Structure 1
Amino acid sequence: MPVRMVESPAPSTSSGANPGQTSLQPCSLLSVGQTFSGTQNVSSPQKEEAWRVNVRIQGCDLNHGYVCGTMEALNVPMADTPVVTFWEGEIVDTKNYTFFTNKWKATPEVDIDHWTKFSSFSPLLSQVEVDGGKSLDLSNYQYLFMRWKEQYFVNVGADCGLTIAGFYYVCFSCVDGSINGYYYDPNSSPFQKLELKTTNEGRSGFSFSSYELQ
């Protein structure tokens, strides 16, 4: 059974010569091989639609703010098979990455609009507006904030009818392993919500087919 972290108070502003340089604490629920299952709401004004989604963590390096994995989307209308993508993620640790994306067509205003969708971000907002959160101490906060960027399709071609031009703003709970996210792509429906829960693969979870990552 995964070890649960003790709930901690809201992060404080770092003090001393190197603000924001504290390291994040390991989270047993964000580890290589961990799987998650849930849905992504892709509804448009014309149609209500949600895809079933499975995620597996393939790599995690907290010292460098790095995480990667595979995402499998099922019941995608324009695809004959589940669509699997490989993604790489930036963990907001105020050392390697801040809350400001500075790429992928995301402005600070877009960042704030998406991060504020998460209630756990509320205690951080005022400081993030000042410096992107550089001076925050997130080392013992019970939530991890990340950006996931899909890099390529694993089992289908780029002409499958789907786009991976955007990226996900993600909030991960170290208490129960739940994941909430919002997809951002100026050319896609706004605020597509990703909701995942940790699974025990082979028991109450799901099974991935075998895919060779490039």
Structure 2
Amino acid sequence: MPVRVLDNTTPSQVSGANSGKSSFQSCSLLGVGQTPLTPKIRHIEHGVPGFRVAFSGTQNVSSVQKDEAWRVNVRIQGCDLEHGYLCGSMEALNVPMADTPVVTFWEGEIVDTKNYTFFTGKWEATKEDDIRHWSKFPSFSPLLGQVEADGGKSLDLSNYPYIFMRWKEQYFVNVGTDCGLTIAGFYYICFSCSDGSISGFYYDPNSSPYQKLELKSTNDGRSGFSFSSYELQ
């Protein structure tokens, strides 16, 4: 899930790539090859319910003391491909210390080599941290050499079958900051264009390392979905 229990335990360029900058305008972001949704509005209503693109799965929050996983729901609320931006909510359903599901609002950066590269440059993440976490995705392997060279700036990812992102939680929606959880870290995210699945790893130097997020699209019962360069109501 988006929220993390603090844990003090320390535990070659793609074929066809060129120097052009990818904007993903020709790609259906988070699409699974089904019926696209119709764009409704041009602005993003932060925190407003009614999102249409949904995912469900688990977040492994195990530590050296115990094995633990939380059930997680994620909803995509808005997307602006021109600026490499998206946002949504995350909900953890079985957090031991919480009486109700814990919901957070997050904002994301799409690694499009125009607005954002594979190097984070903030949130206490070094280039070495970036390489270690991205390398946990098998789909990143063909990109490793170029990313090590320049953060992937010269890669053309417009037709790559995976979309890489970072998700950073901004605030708790339904609980206070004294809930015993932290949202200080962020997620390295990989989305599969072929099946709509999402995998990710949470990074926070003060939490258990490599907490894995695994999500499948649920689509709220609709026939399909995709994104273009607009936000959804």
Normalising by the smaller structure, the TM-score range is 0.7 to 0.9
1:61-140 equivalences in 2 (<5 Å): 61-140=80-159
Whole-Å separation in 1 of the counterparts to 2:106 and 2:195: 22
Aligned length: 191
- Of Structure 1 and Structure 2, the greater strand share is in 1
Whole-Å separation in 1 of the counterparts to 2:76 and 2:129: 27
Q: Which amino acid aligns with 2:193?
A: C
Q: Work out which structure has the larger RCO, using CA pairs closer than 8 Å and 6 or more positions apart in sequence.
A: 2
Q: What is residue 13 of structure 1 aligned with on the other side? A: 17
Q: Secondary structure at the match of 1:69?
A: strand
Structure 1 residues 161 and 11: alpha-carbon distance in aligned structure 2, compared to 1, 3 A threshold: farther
Structure 1 residues 182 and 11: alpha-carbon distance in aligned structure 2, compared to 1, 3 A threshold: farther
Whole-Å separation in 1 of the counterparts to 2:17 and 2:77: 32
Q: For residues 126-183 of structure 1, what are the alpha-carbon distances to aligned partners after superposition, in whole Å with 9 as ceiling and x for unaligned?
A: 0000000000000111100000000000000011111000000000011111000000
Q: Secondary structure at the match of 2:144?
A: helix
Structure 1 residues 189 and 157: alpha-carbon distance in aligned structure 2, compared to 1, 3 A threshold: same
User: Deviation at 1:97?
Assistant: 0.2
Whole-Å separation in 2 of the counterparts to 1:148 and 1:114: 14
Whole-Å separation in 2 of the counterparts to 1:175 and 1:84: 28
Which ranges of structure 1 fall in alignment gaps of 5 or more residues? 1-9, 204-214
Q: What is residue 22 of structure 1 aligned with on the other side? A: 22
User: Deviation at 1:28?
Assistant: 5.5
The root-mean-square deviation of aligned C-alpha atoms, in Å, is: 1.7
User: Deviation at 1:12?
Assistant: 3.4
TM-score (norm: length of structure 1): 0.85
Matched, 1:182 2:196: no
2:169 pairs, out of 146, 150, 158, with 150
TM-score (norm: length of structure 2): 0.79
Whole-Å separation in 1 of the counterparts to 2:205 and 2:94: 24
